[in-house]
Chain A
């Protein structure tokens, strides 16, 4: 333990440095539009490295839309555009000269429904590395094994790596998708309700593995399950819909504070189950 004095001095010395080191992403006054309709309005948040951030809120409040803007997946929806900016390591993502492919390599994504490719388990995990030019079999073998181990799936599939990724159970498929995302060693992993289609035991496994991989990755998870947010996350963002049907972030704080002592009445109502 450091004494308060030591902390004080180290803070003084490193205040800029340490902050810069720890901030992984910054979202600055971000609004997301589908044509004229503003789906998400004026969101600002700071995401620290190697932490889990949960985004909670009632259905249709723009949680997923917000998450999908972090790796520019919304670009795929025609008519969508944004105002504001998203920074990764201080670099803006929404700029003309930014390579979307590079953004998505650095910010991986796991979807609500497991979506393994109709390929073998091995090829599913090796898909990403192959995209980035890893072709030596020994290298690929190593990456596949490491990724599957990190995703806590290795022991269950090590003897059937060449079976279809669709032949395993739903929970295993979702862990395969996590392994596939990890295989390209992204810096941030976005999870869009990753356990909502899974049974409680599979959900638990996903949560355990999140705790495991957060040592190496920054995780942002959207969930409609408040207990899950409380269990897994370090920080929680609460979103609500406003009068214009635009999603707004009404509170963003330490998960403990959000669930025990929220500042906003609406957050308190939501986390205590009074609505939503």
Chain B
């Protein structure tokens, strides 16, 4: 090897180290605030968390104890209602968009979901307020669920579409060549093949919807008491964070941190659960006799 090529090799090593440092630095820049935020929430929130925090209702100022049982139930109600609406609508629309890319309706759908996902969630809240709350003349968990469905649908549609596009066309042809109709092919071959990705998309949508506070101010409104009636207002976790955090009492602010910690943990658990489900499905599929 002559000196010239050795020099080039050294230069290449230098460039490699520099580029690696840049990418590493960028990664650090992303990860640091993430860990910082989570660490801070844990530090501030953990002391206020005990069993009562999950089982009791909020207490008036000055009264010790109290928890977020109402908000846990409220979040569960609104997010579940949103899911029940958004998952079938979103996945089916995603299937349509992926299998009919040239149709005007598919283009319209893509455009529509892009626009909706760009609309600030507070605008969605006002929209639902005008559409549901005003005619009904009262706030309700129902209207909150509808807003969350609106917020979840675009994410689910787009992720479903992307995942289905990744399914090889040969599978689709294999099914059609057996005489299966298009819808049958989509539902029983293509959607299952893309299921892991679709579930991930749904999880992302839940995580986003579960953290929405702004639209809840106009719909589910908030409720310091326990309520399981879809026709009555409920409190939700993000709304509870908002109420506790803007209060001028140290006790309440600690509860805001604690609620935030609960919300983050729940979303994380949901994500882990989804991954486990996907993994378990794969395993079950291989080992079942």
Contact = CB atoms under 8 A, between A and B. Distances in A.
B179 A105 contact: yes
Interface string A140-168: 00000000000000000000001110010
Interface residues of B, number: 22
B62 interface: no
Given A162-B288, A164-B285, A167-B286, A101 B174 contact: no
Contacts of B184: 131
Interface of chain B, main secondary structure: helix
Interface in B92-123: 102
A120 interface: yes
B286 A104 contact: no
A171 to B, nearest CB: 17
A184 B178 contact: yes
A117 B175 contact: yes
Most buried by B among A116, A131, A184: A131
A63 interface: no
A143 B187 CA distance: 23
A138 B146 CA distance: 46
Contacts of B285: 120, 163-164
Interface stretch (A70-78, A218-226, A235-243, A268-276): A70-78
A52 interface: no
A93 to B, nearest CB: 13
Interface of chain A, main secondary structure: mixed
B3 interface: no
Given A120-B285, A131-B184, A115 B179 contact: no
B246 interface: no
Interface string B145-184: 0000000000000000000000010110111111111001
Given A78-B102, A131-B184, A162-B288, A117 B174 contact: yes
Interface of B: 102, 168, 170-171, 173-181, 184, 188-189, 192-193, 285-286, 288-289
Interface of A: 71, 73, 76, 78, 101-105, 108-109, 111, 113, 115-120, 127-128, 131-132, 162-164, 167, 177, 180-181, 184
